[in-house]
Amino acid sequence: MKTNRIWIWAGSGAVLSSCLFALLFLGVSMTVTPVQAQEKLVPIPLELPKPMFEGTPQNLKVPNLEKPLGKPREPFLAPAGVVLISKGKKVAASDKEPTIGEIEMLTDGDKSAGDGSFVEFGPGLQNETVDLGAAHEIFAVVVWHFHKTPRVYFDVVVQLADDRDFTSNVRTIFNNDHDNTSGLGAGKQMNYVETSEGKLIDAKGAKARYVRLYSNGNNANELNHMVEVEVFGRPAK
């Protein structure tokens, strides 16, 4: 009898401690798993314009140039509910009087390559800033500078900030200015050839209201061009 009772006591003790252990384990794994990892990921609703040229020419004499993928880009995944949040949003530019087109055309939804769809800004380092109207979680920024002919735009830097003057919580999400011509810091990303796919930049859910894009001329001339900027995200919690 006495032995039985001891066994029962020992048995419930073991059950209790394994329950405690399981709870502890669950608690630990819950704290280390980020909330986002549990969200369902789906391709962002990105619509591409018609290409004006096939493939990518190999004869561009540009240093530090990324090798073309040779196939369509894989769909970009983000949490379900992430949508295009930049269409029709206000844009400001360092060159307030573009020589071709209007600043508003950067977020008008027209991504065509042809004349009448791109905006031409002055030479040298220029920037354009999209105001999303409120803080958003940003997952992707896609930019089309010019895709009528294959071109490489220089010193492409993309930044996020909380304020329009880019003084508060400034983060750089893309920078291929490897020798710091722009004075924004040297970047490690490579030069790339513009295509109808645009350049897709992973913003990893960073919170910001403003998106700023710099460029500093291109391999054909000193001017800066922009067809469209698209930002995919959702309102910040």
Residues that bind Ca ion (CB under 5 A): 105, 108, 110, 155, 177, 179, 181, 228
Which residues, 6+ apart, have CB-to-CB distance to 32 below 8 Å? none
Q: How far is the CB of 83 from Ca ion (least distance, A)?
A: 18
d(CA 177, CA 175): 6
Closest residue to bound Ca ion by CB: 181
Residue number, 79 or 106, with CB nearest to Ca ion: 106
Helix or strand or coil: residue 8?
helix
Q: How far is the CB of 102 from Ca ion (least distance, A)?
A: 10
Q: Which is nearer to Ca ion, 79 or 145 (CB)?
A: 145
- In angstroms, the CA 10 to CA 178 distance is 67
Q: Smallest gap, in angstroms, from Cβ of residue 141 to Ca ion?
A: 15
Q: Which residue has the tokens 């027209």?
A: 110
Nearest residue (CB) to Ca ion, 110 versus 162: 110
The answer to whether residues 50 and 196 touch, using CB atoms and an 8 Å cutoff, is yes
Identify which of residues 142 and 205 has a Cβ nearer to Ca ion in the complex. Answer: 142
CA–CA dist 221, 187 (Å, integer): 22
Whichever of 128 and 177 has its CB closer to Ca ion, that residue is: 177
Q: Cβ of residue 168: shortest distance to Ca ion, in angstroms?
A: 26
CB of 127 closer than 8 Å to CB of 234: no
Q: Which two tokens stand for residue 64?
A: 């530090």
Q: Could you tell me the two tokens for 31?
A: 């704290």
Instruction: Kindly state the smallest distance separating residue 26's Cβ from Ca ion, in Å.
Output: 50
Q: Which is nearer to Ca ion, 101 or 205 (CB)?
A: 101
Q: How far is the CB of 160 from Ca ion (least distance, A)?
A: 21
Whole-number minimum distance, CB 187 to Ca ion, in Å? 8
Strands (E), the chain: 41-43, 77-79, 83-84, 91-93, 119-121, 125-144, 157-161, 171-175, 199-216, 224-226, 228-235
| DSSP state letter for 30 | H
Residues 195 and 150 sit within 8 Å (Cβ to Cβ): yes
Between 149 and 181, CB nearer to Ca ion: 181
